[in-house]
Amino acid sequence: MTSETHLLIENRGPVRVLTMNRPEKHNALNTVLTRELLDGLRAADADPAVNAVVLVGAGKSFCAGADTTEFSALTPDDPQAVNARADLTTSLHLVFSQMNKPVVAAVRGNALGGGAGLALACDLVVMSETARFGYPELKHGIVAAVVLANLVRQLGRKQAFELVAMAEPINGHEAKALGLANRAVPDQDVLDTAMQMASKMAAWSPLAMATTKRTFHRASDLSLGDALDVGRDANVMMRGFRSAGTAAATPSVSTSASANGKH
């Protein structure tokens, strides 16, 4: 296991476990952790020995959101710093959909604000039955902003607005009922369940997995006709996997797409 300042990195076979490691702050996202997490996800995607990623928080919580102690330094008096921090947060929430490799969130304890957004940005979510998932920003006089993008895409408008406007957390079973979690399990089973799901996906052909993920994200934001065209192109591409002898090869299909945020 190697350690960055706030991020622990461990390979368990073809699954890379990224652990946010600020337990005393409930893994709140300061600038250092945000940057290391973004770099860590990109590095995992580029590593041919890694086929899937599990994201987890050290200690009692997944992630309590943005580190508000940094807010005092982000003022209109320094617009460059404000813009740089906003760009970094946006890049982190976007990178999950740009990756070839699936990412599973293992959510225990608090997943609030930016932490809730981080969980939803992952491809799959395993959540503790007793987790506290939500968007409490209005209670603190601030706005759920960047995190809204994934929320409104994954949940109906009325339910999504209730989560941000009422600012009340929900538990794992409620999150699963809303379609925001794939599994709701006892706290002690969260990481094992996430690892099982990640390991299963890691066993598939990397090229087929990458193409499935890229096609999924492209189709999800398109009209039916355009989405069918995307599926048709992937169908034609798939026919060449076995004959080309590349079914088990690590794909190189994301370079240009990832660079411009398209899939």
Q: Tens digits of per-residue pLDDT, 182-227? A: 999 999 999 999 999 999 999 999 999 999 999 999 888 878 888 7
Q: Higher model confidence: residue 55 or residue 257?
A: 55
Of the residues 137, 162, 168, 174, only one is catalytic, namely: 137
pLDDT tier for residue 241 given thresholds of 50, 70 and 90: low
More confident residue, 245 or 164: 164
What is the per-residue pLDDT for 259? 38
Among the ranges given (76-80, 93-97, 168-172, 248-252), the one the predictor scored with the smallest mean pLDDT: 248-252
CA nearest to 263, candidates 196, 194, 215: 215
pLDDT at 176: 98
Please say if 137 is a catalytic residue: yes
**DSSP labels for 58-92?**
STT-SB--B-GGGGGG-STT-HHHHHHHHHHHHHH
Q: Which domains does the chain have, with CATH numbers?
A: 2-202 (3.90.226.10), 206-260 (no CATH)
Phi first, then psi, for residue 109 (nearest 5°) are 65, -135
CA quadruple 127, 129, 131, 132: dihedral sign? positive
Residue 18 per-residue DSSP state: E
| Alpha carbon distances (Å) from 175 to 103, 105, 139, 151 | 18, 13, 21, 12
pLDDT tens digits, residue range 16-73? Answer: 999 999 999 999 999 999 999 999 999 999 999 999 999 999 999 999 998 877 665 5
**Residue 254 — pLDDT band, cuts 50, 70, 90?**
very low
Q: What gap in Å lies between CA 185 and CA 201, rounded to an integer?
A: 20
- Tell me how far apart the alpha carbons of residues 69 and 226 are, in angstroms, rounded to a whole number: 45
Give the distance from CA 122 to its chain's centroid. 3
Residue 179, pLDDT score: 97
pLDDT at residue 72, as a whole number: 57
Residue pair 241/247 in contact (Cβ under 8 Å)? The answer is yes
End-to-end CA separation in angstroms for the chain: 32
Is residue 132 within 8 A of residue 112, CB to CB? The reply is yes
| Dist. CA 162–CA 156, nearest whole Å | 10
Predicted confidence (pLDDT) per residue in 112-168, tens digit: 999 999 999 999 999 999 999 999 999 999 999 999 999 999 999 999 999 999 999
